[in-house]
Structure 1
Amino acid sequence: MKVFIDASLIVYLNVPLPENEAKAINDFYRNLLQEDLYTDILALDEAIYVSRRKYGITIQETLELIDKAILPNVEIIPLGEAEYTKGKEHMLKYGLKPSDAIHLAAMDNNGIQAIATEDKDYDKTHIRRLWAHTK
């Protein structure tokens, strides 16, 4: 199965968590490694920004995580005018934030069936949402 890795998963792989939550997130990611994984540059940007702004993780630390744990296992798909065009439709149809709509458009344009994300906004779309059981 083709799975899109959203920024929320990258952030949770990057920040300190209670032991049981960290284990759930790490196990979830390890299981995903059996699938064909994709992301886009916008998700990486979001992960870097949120890790720094919300959790105080240095940019260097986040870049190291991306370089060591994400890029070797996840293909970065391009974003362009086609994703913008389809993204507009998703914003209007599903009420998604622009970045989420663009991610969804990128998934559609690349035949991706699921997204690994904490973001429940994707539950109202046609894409399958996967997430770790952290509670």
Structure 2
Amino acid sequence: MTDKNVKSKLIIEVSPQTHQLVETEMAGETEEVKGETKALIEALKKRARSEAKSPGNISNETYLNAVRQAREAIEARTLVEREYRLDYAWLVMQDEFEKNWYLLMRELVDFGDRLQHAAKAAWEAFNTPRYQR
């Protein structure tokens, strides 16, 4: 079993501020996505608090640079995911359009054939001599 197949069962206490932020900003997302986002924010906050409190070799500037890099990486990933979703939606729309176009063309050809047969039958009925009926 890989790490991707194992779901985290860790209970993380979510602050009211984080809860409100995620619920407002991610209104259209699933509860699973919201829950994971809340957990990520709380983990980041916890890590930031522990790093800020710990004495040692990390300077304020180093910490701020690390936080900025993490934010930029998350934002870049979000933009890539949005672009991927837009590309995928466009491909789905193109595929549906092509299917519908093919079905429409098939219906038009079928209608044209039926119209041609009806016109031929009408012509034959109109031109058949009366004594042969």
Higher relative contact order (CA 8 A, sep 6+): 1
User: Greater CA radius of gyration, 1 or 2?
Assistant: 2
- Superposition TM-score, scaled by structure 2 size: 0.26
The structure carrying a bigger helix percent of its residues is: 2
- Superposition TM-score, scaled by structure 1 size: 0.26
